[in-house]
Structure 1
C-alpha cells in the first residue's frame, strides 16, 4: 500500500463516510418508514464502500467516489435548500462536499 502523505489514510475517511451514508438511509427508514431513504442510503453507501476499498488498494483510484459524492452532495444540497432542515440533508451534503474536497486536495498534492 502506498503512503498518501496524510496522517490518516484517505480510505479510512471513506469507510467512515460509507457508514454515515448507509446508517442515514437506515435511520430514515426506521424513523419515517421511508423506503426511498433506505434504498438510496444502501445504494450510495455501497458505492462509497466500493470506493473506500478501491482507495485502500490504490490511492489514485478516486473516480467512483467523486461521482458518488458529487451526486449525493447535489441531491442532498437541493433537499436542504427546499426543506431548510439540517438533518439529514445538510449533514450528508456537507459530509459529501468535505470528502470530495479532501480527495481533490490529496489528488493535487500527490507526486506525479
Structure 2
C-alpha cells in the first residue's frame, strides 16, 4: 500500500492558499473554502491511499476546484491564486485518471 503523497501535498497547498487569502486580504470566505476543500482533498487522498481505485472524493474535489477557479481565472486574468489552483487541480484530475489506467 503506497501513500498518495501527491494528493496530500495538493490538499496542503489548497488549505494553505485559503489561509494566505485570509492573512493577506482578511477574507474569511477564502479561509473557510480553503480549509474545507483542503480537508476534502486530504480525505480523498486518504481513501486513495487505502484503495487506489477509490478516487471519487479526490476527483470530485479537484473537478470542482478546476471549474470554480478556472472561471475565476478567466474572469480576473489573475494567475495568483485562481490560475495556480485551477492548474494544479487539472493536473490532479489527470493524475487520478491516469492512475486508473
Q: Give the structure-2-normalised TM-score.
A: 0.97
Residue 86 of structure 2 corresponds to 93
Deviations 1:8-64 (A, max 9, x none): x5x110011001000000000000000110011000000000011111111111000
Of 11, 15, 20, which aligns to 1:22? 15
Q: In the aligned structure 1, how far is the partner of 2:68 from the partner of 2:23?
A: 21
Deviations 1:51-105 (A, max 9, x none): 1111111111100011110001000001100100000000000000001001101
Residue 46 of structure 2 corresponds to 53
Structure 1 portions without partners, runs of 5+: 4-8
Report the RMSD for the aligned CA atoms in angstroms: 1.0
Residue 79 of structure 1 corresponds to 72
Which structure features the higher share of helix residues? 2
Residue 44 of structure 1 corresponds to 37
Residue 13 of structure 1 corresponds to 6
Runs of 4 or more above 2 Å deviation = none
What is the count of residue pairs matched by the alignment?
101
- Whose radius of gyration is greater, 1 or 2? 1
Residue 6 of structure 1 corresponds to none
